[in-house]
Amino acid sequence: MKFVDEYRDPALAKRLLDQIRQIVTRPWVIMEICGGHTHAIMKNGLDQLLPAQIELVHGPGCPVCVTPVETIDRAVAIAAKPEVIFTSFGDMLRVPGSASSLFMAKSAGADVRMVYSPLEAVALARQNPAREVVFLAVGFETTAPGNAMALLQAKREVLTNFSLLASHVLVPPAIRALLSSPGNRVQGYLAPGHVCTVMGWQEYEPLAEEFQVPIVVTGFEPVDILAGLLMVLRQLEAGRHEVENQYGRSVSREGNRAAQRVVDEVFAVRDRAWRGIGVLPASGLVIRDQFAPYDAERKFGVETISVRESELCKSGDVLQGLIKPDSCPAFGRECTPEHPLGATMVSGEGACAAYYRYHRNCPTAPHLLRSLAVLA
């Protein structure tokens, strides 16, 4: 398949791995921010192939994982209303809230539907004028333009029965928070290629400068990731700290201006709670006041729902790169994909789910392989 196969080419990947092995002279800790990267690394076993000195730390870039419990609880409360058709991407349906998930709400009688695009939800609103159609709009900067477009489309068509339950988060404030944390060990970053397709990489330049870390915008196929790592490592070994772009086929420095304008029209930047991490300043998007009739949170009066979280779950530490998923005492015991305690075990991009899915057998677990390599 064009534009996919060349980025999965084993020969090219092996050449990149050889180059990485040649230039690495000491241990380095690199974080991939994006859950899409984490998933691709685990699926292709890239962590098993890297030299033992390189430690990959998984970042908080899974929108499902950092969506606060109160958003899930609000979603469940709205979905339970008889007039509501509640729509969402599939991943969000299984995420546990305080007491219930959207799937559980569905089996209890709520009209919950999985859609592949927010515009499908707009179409549902058009087809069901007597019902309230709500779309759960989660994600990073990547999905914000599509969700903003859906809202504007509904407004143009005067579909007053359409609203968004919005829970958008922004990447740069999260990187700032991680780099400012006293326990930070991360020395270089792979920045998320999809987010930067929309936003460009300008806003990463002050971070690279202030914290003196190399940041490389990286794509999602194995060859992309290895090339991105090679670029970070070249900078680290040379003592440089710049923003570089590996994902040139998709990302420019300015990003997609039209998409940015739509996001800015509909959303305003606010402080936001990240599940497992806490409130980060100016890290989220909320629907602007002039679009209040399309804001499900205000429409259904669910702003004040309070929450309860599992005490066993260490997903906050996982999301901050402080521990690896399999160091959590609940991993694979109380917490499995069938009975997730935290969202990191639910989402396809969650670090815990990726570890459980691809590497829970001891002989190939990355930390064990690494220790074997050290012994050898």
Tell me which residues touch another protein (CB under 8 A): 1, 4, 8, 10, 13-14, 42-46, 48-49, 94, 103, 115-117, 120, 123, 222, 337-338, 348, 356-361, 363-364
Nearer to another protein (CB atom), residue 1 or residue 376? 1
Closer Cβ to another protein, 39 or 272, answer by number = 39
Q: Rounded distance, CA 307 to CA 68, Å?
A: 9
Distance of alpha carbon 213 from alpha carbon 240, whole angstroms: 8
Minimum CB–partner distance for residue 240 and another protein (Å): 28
Judged by beta carbon, residue 11 or residue 130, the one nearer another protein is: 11
Question: CA-CA distance, 79 to 83, in Å (whole number)?
Answer: 9
Nearest distance from residue 17's CB to another protein, in Å? 8
Q: Is 376 helix (H, G, I), strand (E, B) or coil?
A: coil
Decide whether 88 or 235 has the Cβ nearer to another protein. Answer: 88
Pick 4 or 374: Cβ nearer another protein: 4
Spatial neighbors of 163 by CB under 8 A, at least 6 apart, are: 132, 133, 134, 135, 293, 294, 295, 296, 299
Q: Please state the closest distance from residue 101 (CB atom) to another protein, in A.
A: 10
Tokens read off for 229: 């790592």
Number of neighbours of residue 182 by Cβ within 10 angstroms: 4
Q: Which residues are CB-contacts of 45 (< 8 A; sequence separation ≥ 6)? A: 358, 364
Q: Min. distance of Cβ 259 from another protein in angstroms?
A: 20
Min dist. Cβ of residue 119 to another protein (A): 9
By beta-carbon proximity to another protein, the closer residue of 15 and 261 is 15
Phi-psi region of 293 (alpha: psi -120 to 50; beta: other; left: phi over 0): alpha
Nearer to another protein, 128 or 181 (CB): 128
Tokens standing for residue 193: 């290629």
In whole angstroms, the minimum distance from the beta carbon of 20 to another protein comes to 13
| Residue position matching structure tokens 């999905």 | 143
307 CB neighbour count, 10 Å cutoff: 16
Q: What is d(CA 58, CA 36) in angstroms, rounded to the nearest whole number?
A: 10
Residue 346: in which H helix or E strand, if any? none
**CB of residue 169 vs another protein: minimum separation in angstroms?**
20
Beta bridge partners of 32: 58, 190
